[in-house]
Chains A and B, each alone.
Chain A
């Protein structure tokens, strides 16, 4: 199997997890690493709303959750910084379900220096907000992702996962 095919397998696996866990609304600002997932979502039956800024996605997700939907916000970790107040004073305050699925930039092999500060801060920002998060760095970790998404909807809370670049062989 080529690395490119392996990448597509990972993307497909993640979208299958979304479908199995009942995700029915995805809001997103794209990231290079998430391109494959976004393409597959576009071909799926999951409702997909591109947003101009990640915080907008938190608001749309809250409205959808108020009707019983299971929303997911797909973004780069840099977008977390754009969401902080709404996550705390909307989603968290009203105890609404939301899953934050983020590509995690700024690591060891990162070529763009601007990705480093927020990449390092993002997990601690979530800690400060009281939002549990997990790191996903290999395909076998995806079981943890599935369990975490389920718990966000079962407990009506915000949960988060950081997808590490090494998850995709072509980008590591």
Chain B
């Protein structure tokens, strides 16, 4: 299982998706491009925090495609996520033990740091570890009413995918229009 396989599975689910800077965002863009995707073009480490802000501010499911290297940059986020625990947040950590977008330099994970154990120790109650697509699929379908962290043990590797040819403001504007339209749909349905 490589990162793009994980991204393909996550993109099958209905909700908002935040994709980490670099290849994660580019791979999501190539798998499927939707207004509900927030492609990070900068601010490494902020994926889980952006996802938390989204999950606290609107009711639809929010999937965050983060990485072990990026999460290690913002570990405090796990503690804040554990405390706030919005039930519509799913943090998917692509745990490939390398900084994949910069040439596969090893992260601390490669030396034994256990990402799932860190998430549990931070207080996240539902931490699922998966090692293949079937387990990932099962984990993603189990998500319904509780904040979940999925640690996906993955081989390093980037797919051959194009650069995202949207401007940051385009990404923002269509994302915000999508969120607003969905809020109206939910409002009209009395939800």
| A30: interface (CB < 8 Å) | no
Contact of A66 among B41, B44, B79, B172 (CB under 8 A): B172
Q: What string of 1s and 0s marks CB contacts (under 8 Å) between A57-80 and chain B?
A: 111111111111101000000000
Q: What string of 1s and 0s marks CB contacts (under 8 Å) between B29-45 and chain A?
A: 00000000010111111
Contact of B74 among A55, A89, A94 (CB under 8 A): A55
Tell me how far the C-beta of A88 lies from the nearest C-beta in chain B, rounded to whole angstroms: 7
What are the nearest 10 A-B pairs in CB distance? A63-B53, A59-B49, A89-B42, A52-B76, A59-B46, A90-B43, A60-B53, A63-B54, A67-B57, A63-B50
Q: Does the CB pair A56–B49 fall under 8 Å?
A: yes
Q: How far is the CA of A64 from the CA of B51 in the complex (A)?
A: 9
- Contacts of A111 on B, CB cut-off 8 Å? none
Q: How far is the CA of A20 from the CA of B74 in the complex (A)?
A: 33
Known contacts A55-B74, A96-B172; A47 and B56 CB within 8 A of each other: yes
Tell me how far the C-beta of B50 lies from the nearest C-beta in chain A, rounded to whole angstroms: 4
Q: How far is the CA of A55 from the CA of B44 in the complex (A)?
A: 11
With a 10 A CB-CB cut-off, give which of B38, B80, B176 has the most chain A CB atoms.
B80
Task: Show the binding face of A for B, using Cβ within 8 Å.
Answer: 25, 47, 49-53, 55-69, 71, 85-86, 88-90, 93-96
Q: Does the CB pair A89–B54 fall under 8 Å?
A: no
Tell me how far the C-beta of A20 lies from the nearest C-beta in chain B, rounded to whole angstroms: 21
Known contacts A49-B84, A88-B42; A59 and B76 CB within 8 A of each other: no
With a 10 A CB-CB cut-off, give which of B41, B44, B77, B171 has the most chain A CB atoms.
B77
Q: How far is the CA of A50 from the CA of B80 in the complex (A)?
A: 8
| B126: interface (CB < 8 Å) | no
Q: Does the CB pair A93–B42 fall under 8 Å?
A: yes
| B143: interface (CB < 8 Å) | no
Q: How far is the CA of A57 from the CA of B53 in the complex (A)?
A: 9
Known contacts A59-B53, A66-B54, A67-B58; A89 and B41 CB within 8 A of each other: yes
| B139: interface (CB < 8 Å) | no
